[in-house]
Structure 1
């Protein structure tokens, strides 16, 4: 029977100033790459509106994008654990730039499907390396949780900035220039990673090379949190995958989508610091257990996105996008707490790849949403989104049991066996 990889203590950078510098540089770079992520955020609008293929073709492109996303994350997690953060980040961000440049040149529908797949492969492949570097840099559980939460926050803010700015720019200047800017931002991230991070790995390369995804998925807590994450992210990712389809169906221009995402951005900026302090605290360990925080986050996400499915005005979509924010923050804090407290040092990349893969799987529904919109209208779309949130909340109960079982086994394990 496959067993979960042995938990090893993270190796930390001894200089506090150097550690903070590395972490903040990675957070800023993650925000940049999301803020300039026009190729990812505007793929649906580009196919449906920019090239005139319609919402069904856009849904097909976004679904193909999601399939590539799953494949890319699995590869990135293994690459991070084997080669280290510096090498893997430099490679994957260079590949991301090529995918963005290819999208700027593609116009036929078969070419768009092919590019969508490779674009999806590069969408989140930086996340496992960044997350592994944070765990290797910071010593305390609560401090790692805060940093992992800020990583999700930087991504969410970047996505919202991208939608707000990109909607205006796309409306006035077209899409292709945005995709070139996206590619250049990826190259900047690759250069920053090569310059800031140290060469080599921060894990035992021999132990990392022996860990497989089969062993990683032998951890029941990872399986259950992955279920919750997929269903919760189906609601959260609806901001950039489902919302454009709904707003296009209403005949609203990209500027309306940008305004809705601007409302989300303002709410994220205003609510993230106080809610993160409330949920994590300032001590050495997180203030609240991660499972109830995750359940509350998924419930709020389901409520917000289902209400968005019933809107028809820019104001209604903006209000729903703002309502999602507390759920996004709680969801991010919970996933950050799991990675910071449970992911083994020699498999952090794979653990983060699995949770980031939840977002990738959550990007697959647009084709189904487009079909549901045609078959049952907005009520059917809202019902499907509510059902997804309910599954996420239900998965939190077995997740809690598996985490408690793991803690009990760890408490009774002889000290030498954890090394």
Structure 2
């Protein structure tokens, strides 16, 4: 047991102090965005909006996220990642506090859109900062550490948010969210001042190319969109399947979803450290991860044994643990050849596109074809993603594409 514990701690060694600070800022920021999980409840219960109006407002949320990610990439290339991160956190804090005074439907649509434009401009800037503060050999584990911070923040945020609603009401959420974002901005100013922080991977490209003209990268982005389309089903349509088709209680569904976070927290960093020493390329590892996620749907297509659902969740989680860190590292490495902010924005946009279309697409498929056919479609989409990655790997190995 002691050996396992020491091995776990050893998997975190070698990461720069700046990456640890960046992870802490991310943790505070993500834990602070506790309004998001309760937004639909706030709009229906506290403001009395109809479900159709809530759906439109949430669409503005998604569109704002997409626009913010694109804008964040552009600004990062123009003014640098540090200014984008600080201003994004600071203005997001003010916007969260301001959001509570908006009352009309159109005001909330506009307010949510503006909030997400500002808030999600933080994402590409974070990846560029992470790349700068990480040694080449540590980039994948640096991404993994940030993922752990995001997962911990998303786990803690809703729990804290529930307590705040019970004691202070929904408006308390906006104040706490705003203040935590302001605190994260202050912490960033104190610990990651560019005059004091040490960049470990300084790279200047005198003739950067556009990410939108990097055709191998666009092939990679296509595979990430397909990955996102099947991955997000586990947090929208699959829970419905657990309830309606397998008659699981809310507690059982919660435990299955919680297992995903626990496995990631306990095993992702040691797994990534082990895989980094393998002879497989990053693209090959992405293919492995996507294959695991795709196979997880096979266990949803037959039988009534609950253990099949557990196996499916474990496979999906393993696929997530392998694919996301190595895909992020691949994107960061590829971005060195061009405009880094634009590259990392496009990487994040791939998943924003998946979120916009995957949830509604999954629901429509279930309504028209049923759960089993929907899972078969998900497997076909996964195989298409693997084929795109295979073409990318073949081209890179044979030197046909660079």
Question: Where on the TM-score scale, by shorter chain, does this alignment land: which range?
Answer: 0.7 to 0.9
In 2, the alpha carbon distance for the partners of 1:18 and 1:67 equals 38
Quote how far apart the aligned CAs of 1:307 are.
6.6
Question: What is residue 90 of structure 2 aligned with on the other side?
Answer: 94
Match of 1:393 in 2: 386
The match for 1:150 among 145, 154, 168 is 145
Q: TM-score with structure 1 length normalisation?
A: 0.74
RMSD of Structure 2 on Structure 1 (CA): 4.3
CA distance in 1, matches of 2:115, 2:188: 20
Structure 1: runs of 5+ lacking an equivalent: 1-16, 410-419
Q: Give the Cα–Cα distance (whole angstroms) in 2 for the partners of residues 309 and 84 of structure 1.
A: 48
Q: 1:88 to 1:389 in 2, by over 3 A?
A: same
Q: 1:296 aligns with which of 268, 288, 301?
A: 288
Shift of 1:204: 9.7
- Is the 8 Å Cα contact of residues 34 and 160 (structure 2) preserved in structure 1? no
Q: 1:184-230, CA deviations, whole angstroms, 9 ceiling, x for partnerless residues? A: 2222222222222334897999968x757xx2221122101111112
Partners of 1:248 and 1:170 lie apart in 2 by: 27
Q: Does the Cα contact within 8 Å between 1:164 and 1:259 map onto a contact in 2?
A: no
Match of 2:24 among 11, 19, 28: 28
For each residue in 1:315-372, what CA deviation from the matched residue of structure 2 results, as whole angstroms up to 9, or x when unmatched?
Answer: 9988865553212111122213303432217622221111111221121023344444
Deviations 1:125-163 (A, max 9, x none): 222222212222233x32122212322333234334434
**1:88: Cα distance to partner?**
1.0
CA distance in 2, matches of 1:93, 1:319: 39
Contact 1:64 1:364 in 2 (8 A): no
DSSP-derived class of the 2:213 partner: coil
Residue correspondence of structure 1 range 69-148 to structure 2 within 5 A: 69-106=65-102, 108-139=104-135, 141-148=136-143
Larger deviation: 65-74 or 254-263? Answer: 254-263
Q: Which has the higher contact order (CA 8 A, sep 6+)?
A: 1
TM-score w.r.t. length of structure 2: 0.77
Deviations 1:279-324, CA, capped at 9 Å, x for gaps: 213xxxx752111211222233345578789999x99988865553
Change (3 A) 1:327 1:339: same
Deviates more, 1:266-275 or 1:303-312: 303-312
Alignment map for 1:9-408 (pairs within 5 Å): 20-47=16-43, 58-106=54-102, 108-139=104-135, 141-163=136-158, 166=161, 175-199=170-194, 211=208, 215-240=210-235, 259-281=255-277, 287-304=279-296, 323-344=315-336, 347-365=339-357, 366-379=359-372, 381-404=374-397
CA distance in 2, matches of 1:228, 1:143: 24
Q: Return the alpha-carbon distance in structure 2 between the equivalents of residues 306 and 193 of structure 1.
A: 44
- Secondary structure in 2 matching 1:288: coil
Task: Provide the rounded CA distance (Å) in 2 between the counterparts of 1:97 and 1:306.
Answer: 43
Given that 1:89 and 1:129 are in contact with CA atoms closer than 8 Å, whether structure 2 keeps it comes out as yes
Consecutive unaligned residues in structure 2, runs of 5 or more: 1-12
What is the rounded CA distance, in whole Å, between the counterparts of 2:160 and 2:108 in structure 1? 23
Asked if the contact 1:22–1:197 (Cα under 8 Å) also holds between the matched residues in 2, the reply is yes
